[in-house]
């Protein structure tokens, strides 16, 4: 009964935003879900914004306090409910009330945006009362988001705002249509100015929209531009997988012969890297008012996207002058990219910025990021290595973007 209820909660919560990533299968055909499902409102008029209904009235979740937040989840038949996600590196057991509503208060926390989920008797679901969603992909399910106010560098402010759009292009490399999410700076539509371009890549479990919808890259740039801290730029967010895309219709098979086979992290970035160099960059420079040449191109990414950044930039140092590697590294960079490392003086002339950042508690890639730093240092290749607070989480990557954007196109 509970398992069916949680399945229904997942589908309702994700379906409310019109698209969903991989989630557990629905109950078998012909079997009605439990009534009412865990955390889901009954049939009838929708509850007030920010509230999830169910037996006993609406559930308010999340509720933001001073430096903490309280979450609630209606699951009267559950035996154990735990809050998990990108919060503070811990799991937080919830307490069941007499009304069947489970509650937990988490904090104190530093001001920021956090992602969380509920694990209900082993099944992971989002908070159905929370409309703020971090989209997931593949083995990474979607999550709910909550903000502790106070650190407003990534909030919408009363400043001039750029435009975010979705562009569809045909990838000759993969033989399928694909999408790009594009940020153009304030005033782009009203002028004839040309701009440099930052090709900004997402991580595994994210999609092409993640840097905008989860990372708030557009607001971060709006605020930095308004403060006069960065040079206005265009941001291009491609889909980081060698496949057609999300929501473009039935996916067609990619053209396997069009690019080298192998993982996206291989030298040159594999099929994804070829698509970026041969399709995305030409499309961008044809469609938008860009400044030409490597001096006006930056490439960066987080996690998987950071690995792709290194693979593409080290194999193609003539294409970019600014390279940003977030929460990624390499244990054998000098043997993986021998041509790049054999002439440090040439590498130093090509890259105006080679920036690597990682959270000090990132146990996933921290050692490989340190190894990359040590290899670059051994070969006298100029770079910056920043170790800050945090783990392998969006909290870290938003701050990375804020910190590194002012260093681009100087």
> Residue 248: pLDDT band by 50, 70, 90 thresholds?
confident
Give the pLDDT score at 138. Answer: 84
> Residue 408: pLDDT band by 50, 70, 90 thresholds?
very high
> Residue 256: pLDDT band by 50, 70, 90 thresholds?
low
The Cα–Cα gap between 83 and 106 comes to 9
Give the pLDDT score at 44. Answer: 36
pLDDT: is 147 or 259 the higher one?
A: 147
Question: In the CATH hierarchy, which fold is given to the domain comprising 2-147?
Answer: Immunoglobulin-like (2.60.40)
> Residue 253: pLDDT band by 50, 70, 90 thresholds?
confident
The Cα–Cα gap between 294 and 107 comes to 45
Residue 224 has pLDDT above 90, yes or no: yes
Q: Are 296 and 197 in contact (CB under 8 A)?
A: yes
Superfamily of domain 163-407: Alpha/Beta hydrolase fold, catalytic domain (3.40.50.1820)
| Cα–Cα separations (whole angstroms), residue 247 to 114, 163, 173, 178, 283 | 26, 21, 20, 10, 20
| Cα–Cα separations (whole angstroms), residue 208 to 34, 168, 200, 213, 215 | 35, 12, 10, 10, 11
Q: What is the pLDDT of residues 35-88, one digit of tens each?
A: 333 443 333 333 333 344 445 578 999 999 999 999 999 999 999 999 999 999
Give the pLDDT score at 56. Answer: 57
| Cα–Cα separations (whole angstroms), residue 55 to 39, 42, 62, 73, 126 | 9, 8, 18, 12, 19
pLDDT, average across residues 277-296? 97
What percent of the chain has pLDDT above 70?
83
Task: At 173, give phi and psi (nearest 5°).
Answer: -60, -45
Give the pLDDT score at 46. Answer: 37
Give the pLDDT score at 250. Answer: 87
- Strand pairing category for 112-120 and 123-125: antiparallel
Q: Where in the chain is the domain with CATH 3.40.50.1820?
A: 163-407
What percent of the chain has pLDDT above 90?
75
Token duo for residue 152: 């407003």
Altogether, the residues listed in the chain come to a count of 410
Average the pLDDT over each of 53-62, 118-127, 280-289 and give the range with the smallest value: 53-62
Q: Where in the chain is the domain with CATH 2.60.40.10?
A: 2-147
Give the pLDDT score at 267. Answer: 54
Closest among 127, 136, 120, 96 to 4, alpha carbons compared: 120
Rg of the chain (C-alpha set): 23
């Amino acid at each position: 009964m509970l398992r069916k209820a949680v399945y229904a909660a997942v589908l309702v919560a994700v379906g409310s935003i019109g698209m969903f990533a991989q989630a557990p299968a629905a109950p078998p055909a012909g079997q009605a879900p439990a009534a009412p499902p865990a955390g889901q409102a009954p049939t009838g008029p929708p509850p007030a914004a920010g509230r999830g209904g169910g037996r006993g009235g609406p559930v308010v979740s999340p509720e933001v306090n001073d430096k903490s937040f309280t979450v609630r989840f209606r699951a009267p038949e559950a035996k154990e409910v735990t809050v998990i996600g990108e919060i503070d590196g811990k799991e937080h057991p919830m307490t069941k009330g007499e009304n069947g509503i489970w509650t937990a208060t988490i904090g104190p926390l530093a001001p920021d945006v956090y992602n969380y989920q509920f694990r209900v008797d082993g099944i992971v679901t989002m908070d159905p009362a929370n409309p703020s969603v971090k989209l997931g992909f593949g083995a990474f399910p979607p999550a709910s988001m909550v903000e502790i106010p106070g650190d407003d560098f990534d909030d919408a402010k009363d400043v001039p705002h750029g435009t975010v759009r979705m562009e569809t292009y045909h990838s000759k490399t993969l033989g399928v249509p694909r999408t790009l999410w594009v940020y153009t700076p304030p005033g782009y539509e009203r002028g004839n100015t040309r701009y440099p371009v930052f090709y900004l890549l997402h991580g595994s479990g994210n999609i092409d929209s993640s840097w905008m919808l989860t990372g708030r890259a557009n607001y971060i740039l709006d605020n930095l531009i308004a403060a006069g801290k960065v040079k206005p730029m265009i941001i291009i967010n491609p889909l980081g997988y060698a496949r057609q895309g999300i929501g473009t219709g039935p996916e067609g098979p990619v053209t396997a012969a069009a690019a080298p086979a192998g993982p996206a992290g291989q030298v040159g970035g594999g099929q994804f890297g070829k698509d970026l160099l041969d399709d995305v960059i030409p499309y961008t420079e044809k469609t938008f008012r860009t400044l030409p040449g490597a001096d006006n191109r930056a490439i960066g990414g987080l996690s998987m996207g950071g690995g792709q950044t290194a693979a593409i930039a080290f194999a193609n140092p003539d294409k970019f002058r600014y390279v940003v590697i977030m929460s990624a590294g390499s244990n054998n960079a000098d043997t993986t990219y021998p041509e790049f490392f054999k002439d440090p003086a040439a590498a130093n002339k090509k890259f105006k910025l080679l920036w690597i950042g990682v959270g000090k508690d990132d146990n996933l890639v921290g050692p490989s990021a340190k190894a990359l730093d040590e290899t670059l240092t051994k070969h006298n290749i100029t770079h910056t290595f920043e170790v800050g607070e945090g783990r392998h989480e969006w909290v870290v990557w938003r701050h990375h973007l804020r910190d590194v954007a002012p260093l681009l196109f100087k």
